Amino acid sequence: MRTISIQRENGSSVAILAVPVDEVGAHERADFFTKRSIKKDSKLTALYMALSMCDLTTLEGSDTPGRIQQMCAKARYPVPPDLIAPYLLKKNLRPIPSVAAVCVYPSMVPVAVKALAGSGIGIASVATAFPSGQAPLEVKIEDTRFAVEKGATEIDMVINRGAFLSGRYQEVFDEIVEIKRACSSAGNEAHLKVILETGELGSFDRVRLASDIAIEAGADFIKTSTGKITPAATLPVTLIMLQAIADHYKRTGKKVGMKPAGGIRTSKQAIHYLCMVKETLGADWLTPGLFRFGASALVNDLLKQIYKELTGQYYYDKVFSLD
C-alpha cells in the first residue's frame, strides 16, 4: 500500500499509510446511525451530553466585545437556572450544564477571558489566518502565540490546504508541529485542534490521510471544518476521522479527540453523532475532553428538546433566549 514518508524534527521518519476509503461503504455505515432510535431517559442523557460538548461559536467580521459578552453569558447559563429549576426538581435531574467552550477570533480572546472568569469553560481561539490559512508561516505562528498569551485554552488551527492538495505533505506536517509548539506560550498551555476543512479536500481518501498526518504531528483534536464553506461536517466524513482516531489508539494507546463543526443544527443530528461515536470508538470518547460539537444554533435546539422531554410540550426559543 502507498505510504507517505514524513521526517520528524529529531531526524527519525514515520511512514504514514495512505489508507483507502470506499465512499459508498462509508456513506452506508454513517447512514446506519440515523436509524438509531433514542428515546426516553437515554434521549435526555444524550441531550445533556451534547450540550456539555458544544463549543459555542461566533466568528464574524462584525464581532464586537458586546457580542462576545452576550455569547459568554449564554455559554455559562444556556437557560436561566431559576426558570428551569422547577421542572428539573420534579424529575430529580441535575442542573443544565454549561457548554464546553466558546470559540472566537484571537482579538476577542481577552473579552471572553474576562467574561468567563471562574466558570471552567474553555476559551477556544481560531488561529493560523483562519479560515483560509493563506498567510506566511511566521504570521500564523504569531497569530497562535497572541491568542495563547491572551488566555486561550484551546487553539483551532487550519491546515495548509494548498500544500496538502499539491502533495507537499511534509510542509503540512511541519506547520502543525510549529503551531503545536506555539500553543505553549507565556507559561500557558493550550490544546490544539487541527481543522482539515474536509469540504475542500475532495475525497474520503484525502480526509483520512489529512487526519493521519494531523494526528502524527501532535493534534489533540481533529476537526472537520471552519464552518465557512459547505459542505461542512457530515456523518460520513466524521466517521472516517473517527476511524483514523481508532487506528491511532490501537497503535499507540493515545486518545485523540474529534470535533465535527458546521451544519449540525438539530438535536436529532447531534444524537446521531453521539451514537456514531459510541459505536465506533466507545464510551470513553463520550466526554467533552474528547468530543465537541462546533455549533451555535444547536444549543437552542437541544434546550427545546430538553424542555419537551421535561414537559411533553414543544417550546420556542423565547423561553430561554434567542442568542
Partner 1 sequence: MHTTQQNKIKATETNTAMGPNETFEYAPSIESTDIVKIAPKNKLFINGKFIEPTSGKYFPTINPATEEKISEIADANAADVDKAVKAARKAYTNVWSKLSGKERGRYLFRIARIIQERAREFAVLETLDNGKPIRESRDIDIPLVAAHFFYYAGWADKLHYAVPGSGLKQPKPLGVVAQIIPWNFPLLMAAWKIAPALACGNTVVLKPAESTSLSCLLLAEVLQEAGLPDGVVNIVTGAGETGAALVSHPDINKIAFTGSTDVGRLILKSVANTDKKLTLELGGKSAHIIYEDAAIDQAVEGVINGIYFNQGHVCCAGSRLLLEESIADTFVDKLKLRMEKLRVGNPLDKNTDIGAINSAEEHQKIKRLIDTGKTEGGEYYEPSSLTLPAKGYFHKPCFFNKVSSAFTLSRVEVFGPVLAISTFRTTQEAIMKANDTPYGLAAGVWSEKGSKIHKTAQGLKAGVIWANTFNKFDPTSPFGGYFESGFGREGGRHGLLPYLEV
Residues with active-site annotation: 156, 223, 259
Contact in structure between 148 and 185 (CB atoms under 8 Å): yes
Only one of the segments 135-143, 164-172, 174-182, 286-294 lies at the binding site for partner 1 (rule: CB under 8 A); that segment is 286-294
Q: Is 187 exposed, middle or buried (0-12, 13-18, 19+ CB in 10 A)?
A: exposed
Residue type, 303: L
Dmax (CA) for the chain in angstroms is 62
Residue 307 in contact with partner 1, rule: CB under 8 A: no
CB of 287 to partner 1, least distance (A): 4
Residues 6+ apart with CB under 8 A from 230: 199, 262, 263
* Minimum CB–partner distance for residue 82 and partner 1 (Å): 19
Give the residue ranges of DSSP H helices in the chain: 23-32, 40-52, 65-76, 81-91, 109-115, 137-149, 161-165, 169-182, 198-201, 204-216, 235-252, 267-280, 297-311
Closest CB to partner 1 among residues 49, 104: 49
Interacting residue with partner 1 among 10, 12, 13, 37 (CB under 8 A): 37
Residue 19 or 135 having the CB closest to partner 1:
19
The yes or no reply on residue 89 touching partner 1 (CB under 8 A) is: no
Among 10, 11, 13, 40, binds partner 1 (CB under 8 A): 40
Q: Which of 5, 7, 8, 28 binds partner 1 (CB under 8 A)?
A: 28
The DSSP secondary-structure symbol of 5 reads: E
Q: Residue 318: which region, alpha, beta or left (left: phi > 0; alpha: psi -120 to 50)? A: alpha
Neighbours of 127 (CB within 10 A): 29
251 binds partner 1 (CB under 8 A): no
Residue 202 binds partner 1, judged by CB under 8 A: no
Is residue 209 involved in binding partner 1 (CB under 8 A)? no
In the complex, minimum distance from the CB of residue 17 to partner 1, in angstroms, rounded to a whole number: 10
What residues numbered 130-149 form the site for partner 1, per CB under 8 A?
149
Shortest Å distance, C-beta 293 to partner 1: 13
- Please tell me the distance from the alpha carbon of residue 4 to that of residue 2, in angstroms, as a whole number: 7
Is residue 182 within 8 Å of residue 145, measured between CB atoms? yes
Binding track over 146-185 against partner 1, x by CB under 8 A? ---xxxxxx-------------------------------
Q: Which chain residues interact with partner 1 by CB under 8 A?
A: 1, 19-22, 24-26, 28-29, 35-49, 52-53, 91, 93-94, 97-101, 113, 116-123, 149-154, 186-191, 243, 250, 274-275, 278-279, 283, 286-290
